[in-house]
């Protein structure tokens, strides 16, 4: 599908990003998967090359681009099946909380490092007994003079072991309405009482470190609170639109790449004396996948354009997160089948894509929660 979303300078940026990924990412992917983490040098190299937080203004150490530059980074990572180098999480999910809700002192303190790669970020919302229901979190933060004391546990935290700072959601008033009881805090890696738990073994996203975090009488300066006390829930709701759009973007790009590679494979793979692409079943399956991918591209590009324009798209981004993640699951499953036994081998990217795809229906709010949000937006 011909796209008219990007301007010439965006396409030049894509060429630059693609070159960086071929040089600095692809040769290291196997080692990252074995280690279960991306090395710090890669983060700093990405920062030096302008891939991190490309939308941040020059005043805060950024290149002064826009969200479309982030879209390009996400798409180019998907092109090489790199699900563990969590640049989109850092650039488009975590750092925007600091950029939007932080004061000038906080922005000056943290944003330049986020852009350079010297600071890697994470966000801690999910708890062992609380997933999509943010109002039910149990982590607390009590004021003690010029500090807050945080107690609680978080789990499934991407970049949990690698991060230099983590945005933590905690209750600052257990007696208040749950939607007015949560505050957000930036906890730095050396904060006393901040404990990194075990690295969690996962089904997919092998090169992304995911861990448990604990806060045991963890003391952070009051100056590390983002925005007013009790405003955390509203902040989270405001930023979840972009988070869910980011999931849709990644899913769409992954589905497109799997389809491209599967078409190429079926033209090369021989069975009964001819390429398997010449069998009607193969053609029909790929025609169905291609149709879903084309429909998804039209939808997601329209949402990206409207999001960049500042529209309120909670319903539509929830739809995208739900539909694109489910579409990816369908497409990668059909494509893997066409690889036969090789599709089950980890050396083939389609196998890893299959495992990576499953979590997209779970994180950033499960797809069941997306349906609840959509229904509410429909006034049902």
Return the biggest CA–CA distance within the chain.
78
Could you give the C-alpha distances from 44 to 13, 37, 299, in angstroms and in order? 18, 14, 34
Does 243 participate in catalysis according to the annotation? Answer: yes
In the set 75, 127, 212, 243, the catalytic residue is 243
> Which residue matches tokens 């790449």?
257
Gyration radius of the chain's alpha carbons:
21
Q: Which residues have a catalytic role annotated? A: 243
């Amino acid at each position: 599908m011909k796209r008219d979303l990007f301007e010439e300078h965006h396409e030049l940026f894509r060429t630059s990003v693609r070159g960086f990924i071929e040089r600095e990412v692809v040769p290291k992917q196997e080692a990252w998967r074995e280690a279960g983490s991306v090395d710090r040098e890669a983060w700093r190299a990405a920062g030096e090359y302008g891939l991190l937080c490309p939308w941040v203004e020059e005043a805060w150490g950024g290149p002064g681009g826009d969200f479309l530059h982030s879209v390009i980074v996400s798409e180019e990572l998907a092109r090489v099946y790199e699900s563990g180098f969590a640049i989109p999480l850092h650039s488009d999910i975590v750092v925007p909380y600091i950029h939007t809700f932080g004061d000038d002192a906080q922005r000056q303190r943290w944003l330049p490092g986020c852009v350079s790669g010297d600071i890697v970020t994470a966000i801690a919302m999910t708890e062992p007994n609380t997933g999509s229901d943010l109002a039910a979190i149990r982590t607390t933060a009590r004021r003690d003079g010029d500090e807050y004391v945080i107690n609680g546990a978080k789990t499934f935290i991407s970049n949990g072991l690698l991060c230099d700072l983590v945005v933590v959601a905690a209750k600052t008033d257990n007696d208040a309405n749950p939607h007015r009881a949560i505050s957000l805090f930036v906890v730095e890696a050396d904060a006393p009482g901040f404990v990194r738990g075990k690295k969690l073994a996962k089904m997919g996203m092998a090169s992304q470190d995911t861990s448990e975090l604990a806060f045991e009488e963890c003391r952070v300066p009051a100056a590390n609170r983002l925005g007013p006390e009790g405003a955390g829930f509203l902040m989270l709701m405001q930023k979840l639109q972009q988070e869910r759009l980011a999931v849709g973007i990644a899913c769409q790009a992954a589905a497109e790449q799997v389809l491209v590679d599967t078409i190429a494979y079926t033209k090369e793979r021989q069975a009964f004396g001819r390429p398997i692409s010449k069998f009607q079943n193969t053609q029909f399956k790929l025609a169905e996948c291609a149709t879903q991918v084309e429909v998804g591209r039209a939808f997601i590009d329209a949402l990206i354009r409207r999001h960049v324009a500042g529209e309120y798209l909670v319903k539509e981004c929830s739809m995208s997160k739900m539909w694109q993640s489910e579409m990816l699951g369908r497409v990668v499953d059909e494509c893997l089948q066409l690889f036969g036994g090789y599709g089950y081998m980890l050396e083939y990217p389609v196998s890893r894509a299959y495992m990576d795809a499953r979590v997209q229906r779970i994180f950033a709010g499960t797809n069941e929660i997306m349906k609840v949000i959509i229904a509410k937006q429909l006034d049902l």
